[in-house]
Amino acid sequence: MARVNQSIPPVEFGFMLCRLPDGRLTRGPIGVGTATNVQFPDQCGPGQKVVGSLHSHPKEGGGSILPSRQDMAEALRLKMEVLCIVNNETNQCYRVKGVQAAQSRPITRLVHLLRK
C-alpha cells in the first residue's frame, strides 16, 4: 500500500525550470537552504531556455504560498516567465508580471505546468 503525505523539508529547497530545445521541461541543480532562504544556480544548461524557478516556503519559515518581494525581484532580474512556490499544503505557479507579487497572477498548479 502506498503511503503519501504532504510534508516538505523544514528548510527551503529550490531549482530553476528550464526548457530543452525539444520543448520538454527540465530542472537545474537543487539547492537546499535554511527555513527562510535558499540559493541555487540561476542558469539553465547549454541550449536551454529559462522558464522560471520553483522553491519551497516551509511552515518553519512562515509557509506563505505567495512570492516574497525578493522572490519577485529575482524573477524579474532573471526574466522568468513563471515563479512557483510550494508550501506544506499546496503549490502554485505565478506568471511574472510587474514588480510586485500583487501584480502576479496564479496560472496553474505545478503538475499542469510540468505536463506542458
Under rule CB under 5 A, residue 86 binds Zn ion: no
Residue 53 has phi, psi (to 5 degrees) of: -150, 165
| CA angle in degrees (0–180, nearest 5) for 111-40-21 | 55
Instruction: Kindly state the smallest distance separating residue 67's Cβ from Zn ion, in Å.
Output: 6
| Residue of the chain from 8, 18, 56, 71 that contacts Zn ion (CB under 5 A) | 71
Whether 14 and 43 have beta carbons less than 8 Å apart is answered as no
Under rule CB under 5 A, residue 68 binds Zn ion: yes
- Using CB under 5 A, which of the segments 21-29, 64-72, 76-84, 86-94 binds Zn ion? 64-72
Q: CB nearer to Zn ion: give 48 or 68.
A: 68
Q: How far apart are CA 86 and CA 56, in angstroms?
A: 5
- Using CB under 5 A, which of the segments 20-28, 63-71, 76-84, 108-116 binds Zn ion? 63-71
Whether 86 and 96 have beta carbons less than 8 Å apart is answered as no
Residues that bind Zn ion (CB under 5 A): 68, 71
